[in-house]
Amino acid sequence: MFSAEGTARVPAYGPQCAGLLELAFTEVVTAMAKSMSKSALMRHLAETNELTRKQVVYLMDTLVTTAYKEAKNGFMLPGVGKLVLVKRKARLGRNPATGEQIKIPAKTVVKFRVAKAAKDAILGAKK
């Protein structure tokens, strides 16, 4: 995923994603102690892709709205991961305060599964 210059190589995702992926993989690795704020991310994407901040905010809002709507079917962001619905079975649990056994009903939860490409880029490929 990285070239000799330390920048992200983006196979099949196009040059418009290069800035986002480079940000996600290089800056996160070098600045682990402090996460990037939403406004800093928007500013970086606008500068990297020669867009206005307003265009980037609109694009991100559209992406998030689409992810929420399509999560039922499994929404995937190539190279990053996907949102999936997981059905949990009913089970028995314990009330931690009293120790009393309780029934926990079945429910559906949303999970994010990180893509292999993202894991390899962030953690390094397994040998």
Query: With 0-12 CB in 10 A as exposed, 13-18 as middle and 19+ as buried, what is 21?
Result: buried
Higher pLDDT, 44 or 31: 44
In percent, how much of the chain has pLDDT > 90? 65
| pLDDT tens digits, one per residue of 79-95 | 999 999 999 999 999 99
Identify the pLDDT of residue 32: 53
Q: Which residues of 27-63 are buried (b: 16+ CB within 10 A; e: fewer)?
A: eeeeeeeeeeeeeebbebbbeebebeeeebbebeeee
Average per-residue pLDDT for the chain: 82
CB distance 105 to 90 below 8 Å: yes
CA distance 1 to 86: 30
What is the CATH number assigned to the segment(s) 15-123? 4.10.520.10
| pLDDT tens digits, one per residue of 69-82 | 999 998 999 999 99
CB distance 51 to 19 below 8 Å: no
User: What are the extents of the domains in the chain?
Assistant: 15-123
CB distance 21 to 29 below 8 Å: no
pTM of the model: 0.61
Q: What mean pLDDT comes out for the span 15-34?
A: 54
Identify the pLDDT of residue 16: 53
Higher pLDDT, 2 or 68: 68
Q: Binning pLDDT at 50, 70 and 90, where does residue 125 land? A: confident
CA distance 83 to 73: 9
State yes or no: pLDDT of 10 exceeds 50. Answer: no
Residue with tokens 């606008």: 46
Identify the pLDDT of residue 126: 77
